[in-house]
């Protein structure tokens, strides 16, 4: 295969990255979305999401005419060799993945697809979705392939172009291999398998990461109770190559657009086959406990009473490097604080605008002004480099709660403030 004609439906984090990267690999790509304003902006080269390298790839694709943006999937697919579904699959009723967008696209394009065109699911979908799409299409000349995406927000382009692996699964193995060929220039290990296994890989991987994070947060809690230091413990664990260093940092609980909905969806999938996935539900419960522990730490730092406490938050995004607020643990903590009557001011280098219940400011030092406590919720490195002595002067109180163990406790102490992290001894 030299260059394939590809349609990508959905131009969010996954769809836009897929479209722009496949165009950069030499394919002829049309990206489709229902959001007309977004398509108009993209066609003019304007990218709303914060992803290094993405805007440049979009501009290059537009200039080379390998990439175009249109509204209306039905017409766009008329001469496609392959159609990628990259639409949302949010948490639906009962915790299952909501497949309405996937089904809507399948129904929309059904009669417009040319014979032999391969339908490729990149959205995260439950086991059995490939079969469900085939039923919806009601045609036997259209192979369906599951090709789950593993990119991370904030490094989406680098992850797409340098993946740890590519997974393609279908009951039509020729179609799966054809999809794998689209990526041949990436030289990544490729797993070619059946549809159900490919669909399960994505949930199995994401839920493993959620369990790992919940485990580390539990160990951090043990450290606090036993007088140990989580940074030393995870350093010691991380040297073990069977464990690895990634996803070993404690924090305010995991969140973002994927882990909460994917853990919920896999629990729902397990339930559908009467499997009690106690390990995973414990990880989900632990994540809620972690949030409660953070709230207790903040309450403790203001003398136990959150109502009318002035709280400055550093960070709102679910992790550094993104402006995505979906299911952000920082936002969840903020909303609990607001519900207790605290006066919350927040700053995030990538987030502006208004958020309910709190004041969002555009300068880190403004969150410190008259604050009883300053809380770090997102691991933006620039927070380390703030002038903490100046923050100390601006604050009414002297407490810093660092839910990411990001700051240098010595620098905080030198500023006349106290420092409390996660799983580490308090410093004052």
- Residues forming the site for ligand NAD (CB under 6 A): 9-15, 32-35, 38, 73, 86-89, 101, 104-105, 123-124, 149, 151, 153, 257-258
* 369 marked as binding residue: no
CA distance 277 to 158: 34
Please say which residue, 10 or 252, places its beta carbon nearer to ligand NAD: 10
As measured in angstroms, the least distance from the Cβ of 310 to ligand NAD is 34
* 242 marked as binding residue: no
As measured in angstroms, the least distance from the Cβ of 211 to ligand NAD is 18
* 345 marked as binding residue: no
Is residue 314 classed as helix, strand or coil in its secondary structure? strand
Please say which residue, 262 or 348, places its beta carbon nearer to ligand NAD: 262
Contact 196, 127 (CB under 8 A): yes
List Cβ neighbours of 125 (8 Å cut-off, separation of 6 or more). Answer: 89, 97, 99, 102, 146, 199
CA distance 220 to 210: 15
* 5 marked as binding residue: no
Please say which residue, 104 or 270, places its beta carbon nearer to ligand NAD: 104
Please say which residue, 143 or 154, places its beta carbon nearer to ligand NAD: 154
By DSSP bridging, strand 28-33 and strand 5-9 are parallel
In 10 A of CB 237, how many CB atoms?
16
CA distance 276 to 35: 40
Backbone angles phi, psi at 385, to 5 degrees: -90, 5
Please say which residue, 19 or 88, places its beta carbon nearer to ligand NAD: 88
* 155 marked as binding residue: no
By DSSP bridging, strand 310-314 and strand 418-420 are unpaired
Contact 199, 125 (CB under 8 A): yes
275 CB-contact burial (10 Å; exposed 0-12 / middle 13-18 / buried 19+): exposed
In 10 A of CB 304, how many CB atoms?
9
CA distance 337 to 331: 10
Please say which residue, 88 or 253, places its beta carbon nearer to ligand NAD: 88
Q: What is the DSSP string of 44-102?
A: TT---S--TTHHHHHHHHHHHTSEEEEE-HHHHTTT-SEEEE-----B-GGG-B--HHH
Please say which residue, 254 or 388, places its beta carbon nearer to ligand NAD: 254
* 326 marked as binding residue: yes
Q: Provide the annotated active-site residues.
A: 258
The tokens of 142 are what? Answer: 């259209």
The Cα angle at residue 270 between residues 265 and 275, in degrees rounded to 5: 155
Contact 10, 33 (CB under 8 A): yes
* 124 marked as binding residue: yes
As measured in angstroms, the least distance from the Cβ of 294 to ligand NAD is 24
Give the closest residue to 224 by CA, choosing from 297, 314, 138: 297
317 CB-contact burial (10 Å; exposed 0-12 / middle 13-18 / buried 19+): buried
CA distance 416 to 428: 8
277 CB-contact burial (10 Å; exposed 0-12 / middle 13-18 / buried 19+): middle
Residue nearest to ligand NAD (CB): 12
* 46 marked as binding residue: no
Give the closest residue to 10 by CA, choosing from 80, 83, 64: 83
As measured in angstroms, the least distance from the Cβ of 146 to ligand NAD is 12
As measured in angstroms, the least distance from the Cβ of 175 to ligand NAD is 20
* 153 marked as binding residue: yes
Please say which residue, 127 or 258, places its beta carbon nearer to ligand NAD: 258
As measured in angstroms, the least distance from the Cβ of 144 to ligand NAD is 16
As measured in angstroms, the least distance from the Cβ of 16 to ligand NAD is 8
As measured in angstroms, the least distance from the Cβ of 154 to ligand NAD is 9
* 90 marked as binding residue: no
Residues making up the annotated binding site for NAD(+) are: 33, 38, 89, 124, 153, 261, 326
Annotated binding-site residues read 33, 38, 89, 124, 150-153, 202, 247-251, 255, 261, 319, 326
Report the binding-site residues for substrate. Answer: 150-153, 202, 247-251, 255, 319
């Amino acid at each position: 295969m030299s260059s394939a004609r590809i349609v990508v439906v959905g131009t969010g984090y996954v769809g836009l990255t897929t479209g722009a990267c496949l165009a950069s690999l030499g394919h002829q790509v049309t990206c489709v979305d229902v959001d007309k304003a977004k398509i108009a902006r993209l066609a003019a080269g304007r990218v709303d999401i914060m992803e290094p390298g993405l805007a440049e790839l979009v501009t290059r694709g537009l200039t080379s005419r390998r990439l175009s943006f249109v509204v209306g999937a039905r017409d766009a697919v008329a001469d496609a060799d392959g159609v990628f579904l990259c639409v949302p699959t949010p948490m639906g009723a009962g915790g299952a993945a909501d497949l309405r967008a996937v089904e809507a696209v399948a129904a929309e394009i059904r009669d417009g697809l040319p014979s032999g065109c391969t339908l490729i699911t990149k959205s995260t979908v439950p086991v059995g979705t490939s079969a469900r799409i085939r039923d919806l299409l009601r045609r036997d000349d259209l192979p369906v392939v599951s090709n789950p995406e593993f990119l991370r927000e904030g490094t989406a382009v680098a992850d797409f172009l340098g993946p740890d692996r590519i997974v393609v699964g279908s009951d039509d193995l020729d179609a799966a291999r054809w999809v794998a060929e689209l990526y041949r220039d990436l030289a990544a290990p490729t797993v070619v398998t059946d549809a159900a296994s490919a669909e399960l890989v994505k949930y199995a991987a994401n839920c493993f990461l959620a369990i790992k994070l919940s485990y580390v947060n539990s160990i951090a809690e043990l450290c606090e109770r036993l007088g140990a230091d989580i940074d030393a413990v995870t350093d010691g664990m991380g040297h073990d190559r069977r464990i690895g260093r990634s996803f070993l940092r404690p924090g305010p609980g995991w969140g973002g657009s994927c882990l909460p909905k994917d853990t919920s969806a896999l629990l729902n999938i397990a339930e559908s086959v009467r499997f009690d996935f106690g390990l995973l539900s414990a990880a989900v419960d632990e994540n809620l406990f972690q949030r409660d522990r953070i709230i207790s730490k903040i309450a403790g730092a203001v003398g136990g009473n959150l109502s009318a406490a002035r709280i400055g938050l550093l960070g709102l995004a679910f992790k550094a490097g993104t402006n995505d607020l979906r299911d952000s643990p920082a936002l969840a903590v903020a909303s609990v604080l607001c519900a207790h009557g605290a006066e919350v001011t927040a700053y995030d280098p990538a987030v502006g605008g208004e958020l309910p219940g709190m004041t969002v400011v555009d300068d880190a030092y403004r969150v410190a002004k008259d604050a009883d406590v300053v809380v770090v919720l997102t691991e933006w490195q620039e927070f380390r480099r703030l002038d903490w002595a100046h923050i100390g002067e601006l604050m009414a109180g002297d407490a810093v709660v660092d839910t990411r163990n990001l700051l240098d406790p010595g620098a905080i102490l030198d500023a006349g403030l106290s420092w409390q992290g996660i799983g580490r001894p308090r410093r004052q």
